[in-house]
């Protein structure tokens, strides 16, 4: 079955939905999402959106905070664009119906601005501790009745359609590859559709499910990065996986996120004997950037052989804590933890991928007619470590840049004639017995990545991880080629590819910077490594691009 559209958006988080609302004024939009439309990393974001609104804040200060967190790898032009566009994009969300928390004691209600690690001012616009859900619901409500937007739930994008699928030479030069849409699996019917689009946008989110412990939902399997890599796009900085320092430690909590805003509100990290420890590691104490805090917790856990540290909010006003963090308070109560009376046991967990598909300041990749925005992309904003709450901001700012680029150039573009795209080859039978064995690989990959490619790495750990991951990669690819596809197989295929690319990127960078710390190269090396780690897939071979 062939479907044609003007714009194909793969992903239904804040980046994809906000862009869809704008592009729908210029043509037909199809949104592909493999679960329900509200299921995304956006929906799980507790903290908020960083933007300059406070009288004592400025663009220069926000820019400086972002550059410091990024450990020397941020693209300054991208950071300046992000910060200066921030207030306008937040106000745009308000226009679409997002209700952010306000200060009610002012003559003119203004945003109740929170503070998080790495920020030197209060600038976190939030909806208490459910900001992501509030933004997601407002965007869904805004697009619900739009006649030009179709949302395909329970649909999984398999691969981007390029010259490769037309059996043409796609070349090796930037711009020599073209994207004409994607092959998409209808999960309930297990049939594959060919979706042809004048413009395709990747907004698929992150890849936290590559790791055993993650704050990400089950859908965060790196699909967009994997598709773009297989298509030949440049990928950058995959060694910089951010581990959120504080997730609830409980066997049944499934890495429930304890927002950075709790520390911004005044909670303090302590060892199990009640001693604060962050002042030993950073002058900002418990409000240090995430890479510093996560590594410090990891060090303390190993020093004492403990499974968790405490985040202590018991000295704060109980009424205010309950009002500011109702969701966290309620969820912790489910595990018999009253955060106003008891310290919260916490551990780090994989949270946010700072690298991704390389794009310019207009969201353009090096594949023609393919854009990318949100966590799947690498815009240069985050460098080696993301500043808290810059993620939702990046999503709305750069999705808007895509809109600007498309509308600016639309009058000069000719409507493309789609080439004859072959239908998906559905040959093969599903071997349930073999799949049961292959499926176990997912847990092994996640455990390998957690044990060997986590907060602290080494040459030996990375070598051990790569040997096993490459073996699993070959097993999965072989199974994929001879069987009919399923959602589980597609996710496993993407997870093992992302694991391989993350390990390769970590091996390539021979220094410690930001989120990448290796015991074999424990220092920052600006002379040799103050640049992005860029790789691409040329002729089915992973190649690092020299900078």
Catalytic residues: 290
Q: What is the Cα–Cα distance from 394 to 248, expressed in whole angstroms?
A: 27
Q: What six digits make up the tokens of 127? A: 């909806």
Q: Would the CA dihedral through 308, 313, 314, 320 be positive or negative?
A: negative
* Nearest by Cα to 492 from 505, 480, 504, 506: 480
Burial profile 269-284: b = 16 or more Cβ within 10 angstroms, e = fewer: bbbeeeeebbeebbeb
> Quick check: 418 and 389 in contact, CB under 8 A?
no
Q: What is the Cα–Cα distance from 511 to 508, expressed in whole angstroms?
A: 9
Please calculate the CA angle 515-517-522 and round it to the nearest 5 degrees.
140
Q: Which long-range contacts (CB under 8 A, 24 or more apart) does 433-438 make?
A: 434/479, 434/483, 435/479, 435/483, 435/486, 435/488, 435/489, 438/475, 438/476, 438/479, 438/489, 438/492
Q: What is the Cα–Cα distance from 181 to 166, expressed in whole angstroms?
A: 13
> Quick check: 26 and 146 in contact, CB under 8 A?
no
Burial profile 489-498: b = 16 or more Cβ within 10 angstroms, e = fewer: bbbbbbbbbb
E strand or H helix at 49: strand 49-50
The label of the residue with tokens 């930037």 reads: 174
The label of the residue with tokens 């969300």 reads: 93
């Amino acid at each position: 079955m062939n479907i044609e559209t003007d714009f194909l958006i793969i992903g239904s988080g804040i980046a994809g939905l906000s862009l869809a609302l704008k592009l729908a004024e210029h043509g037909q939009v199809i949104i592909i999402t493999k679960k329900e439309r509200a299921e995304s990393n956006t929906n799980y974001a507790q903290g908020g959106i960083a933007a300059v609104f406070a009288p004592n804040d400025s663009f220069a200060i926000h820019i400086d905070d972002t550059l410091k967190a990024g450990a020397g790898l941020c693209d300054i032009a991208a950071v300046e664009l992000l910060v200066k566009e921030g207030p306008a994009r937040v106000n745009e969300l308000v226009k679409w119906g997002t209700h952010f928390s306000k200060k009610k004691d002012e003559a003119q209600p203004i945003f109740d601005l929170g503070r998080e690690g790495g920020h030197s001012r209060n600038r976190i616009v939030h909806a208490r501790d459910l900001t992501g859900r509030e933004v997601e619901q407002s965007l869904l409500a805004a697009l619900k009745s739009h006649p030009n937007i179709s949302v395909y739930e329970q649909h999984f994008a398999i691969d981007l359609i390029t010259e490769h699928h037309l059996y043409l030479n796609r070349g090796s030069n930037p711009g020599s590859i073209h994207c004409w849409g994607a092959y998409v699996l209808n999960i309930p019917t297990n049939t594959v559709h060919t979706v042809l689009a004048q413009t395709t946008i990747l907004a698929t989110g992150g890849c936290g499910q590559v790791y055993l412990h993650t704050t990400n939902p089950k859908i965060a399997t790196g699909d967009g990065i994997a598709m773009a890599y297989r298509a030949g796009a440049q990928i950058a900085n995959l060694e910089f996986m951010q581990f959120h320092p504080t997730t609830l430690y409980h066997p049944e909590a499934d890495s429930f996120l304890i927002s950075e805003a709790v520390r911004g509100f005044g909670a303090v990290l302590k060892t199990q004997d009640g001693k604060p420890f962050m002042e030993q590691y950073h002058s900002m104490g418990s409000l240090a950037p995430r890479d510093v805090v996560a590594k410090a917790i990891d060090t303390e856990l190993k020093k004492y052989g403990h499974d968790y540290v405490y985040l202590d909010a018991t000295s704060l006003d109980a009424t205010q804590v309950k009002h500011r963090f109702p969701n966290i308070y309620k969820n912790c109560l489910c595990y018999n933890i009253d955060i106003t009376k008891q310290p919260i046991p916490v551990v780090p967990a994989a949270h946010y991928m700072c690298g991704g598909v390389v794009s310019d300041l207009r969201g353009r990749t090096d594949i023609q007619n393919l854009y990318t925005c949100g966590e799947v992309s690498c815009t240069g904003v985050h460098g080696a470590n993301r500043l808290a709450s810059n993620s939702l901001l990046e999503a709305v700012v750069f999705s808007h840049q895509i809109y600007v680029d498309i509308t600016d150039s639309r009058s000069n573009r000719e409507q493309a004639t789609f080439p004859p795209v072959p239908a998906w080859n559905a040959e093969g039978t599903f071997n349930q017995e073999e799949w049961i064995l292959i499926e176990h690989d997912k847990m092994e990959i996640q455990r390998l990545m957690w044990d060997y490619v986590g907060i602290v790495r080494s040459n030996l750990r990375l070598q051990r991880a790569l040997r096993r991951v490459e073996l699993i990669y070959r097993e999965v690819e072989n199974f994929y080629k001879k069987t009919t596809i399923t959602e589980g197989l597609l996710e496993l295929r993407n997870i093992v590819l992302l694991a391989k690319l993350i390990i390769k990127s970590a091996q390539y960078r021979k220094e410690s910077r930001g989120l990448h710390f290796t015991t074999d190269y424990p220092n920052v090396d600006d002379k040799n490594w103050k640049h992005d780690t860029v790789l691409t897939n040329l002729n089915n071979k992973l190649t690092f691009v020299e900078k």
